[in-house]
Structure 1
Amino acid sequence: MSSQRTEEEIRSMAQSRVAEKKGFFIHLTVYILVNALLVVIWAITSSYSGSQFPWFVFPLAGWGIGLLIHCLTVFAFPRAGSDWERKEIQKEMDRLRKDS
């Protein structure tokens, strides 16, 4: 098998990477919006109840860890899952061809 990738393979890989990056930025946007809403809810309810405990830090931190992992898999270690995924796709394609 040749180590040279075809134009179609390169395009497919590029589309996959763009989709991964888009998914991360959507995740980041939702994280910011939801956590901003939680801070606003905390600010409003704490002013009425007198409780100043910043409970919003728990979802912010927990979700932030997940977001960090998502960021690392997309930008720092982008090939970690792609080779496995490509091999699994090839196995499924081979199995489907054999079953046909």
Structure 2
Amino acid sequence: MSTPETAHDPILWKQAKNRVGFRTHLRSYLTINAGLWLLYLVTSLSAGPIGFRHGYVPWPLFAMLGWGIGLVSHYLAVYRYPNERNQIEKEYEKLKRQQAW
């Protein structure tokens, strides 16, 4: 009996796992940050009117920004630069061509 990992192309299998991992990360980001904003709104309503006062930034923005940087990095690793091996091969071929000159 073969496992899914041995029955498929290992590079494509890894890419599929990475994409599923990113989607899970994105779902967590959206869910948790929605909860943080809800908590912020509930606590702000009980404290008075909501608004951007001079020099005041809602605290959930800090969580979104910090985690968002990690999320963008994860996206780039999975979708923009998914296969480091191909990049290494391209760079190697480029170096070979330069050396031939």
Question: Does TM, normalized by the shorter one, top 0.5?
Answer: yes
Structure 2 unmatched ranges of 5 or more: 1-5, 51-56, 86-101
Q: Alpha carbon RMSD of aligned pairs, Å?
A: 2.0
Identity of aligned residues (%): 33
How far, CA to CA, are the matches of 1:50 and 1:32 in structure 2?
Answer: 26
State the TM-score, normalized to the length of structure 2.
Answer: 0.67
2:83 maps to 1:79? yes
Structure 1 unmatched ranges of 5 or more: 1-7, 84-100
The alpha-carbon deviation at position 61 of structure 1 amounts to 0.6
Correspondence for 1:17:
15
Correspondence for 2:67:
63
How far, CA to CA, are the matches of 1:59 and 1:50 in structure 2?
Answer: 23
- Equivalent of 1:27 in 22, 25, 28: 25
Aligned residues, how many?
Answer: 74
Q: Structure 1 runs of 4+ off > 6 angstroms?
A: none
State the TM-score, normalized to the length of structure 1.
Answer: 0.67
Cα distance per residue 1:31-80 (max 9 Å; x no partner): 00000000000000001112745110000010001000000000001123
- CA radius of gyration, larger in: 2
Correspondence for 2:97:
none
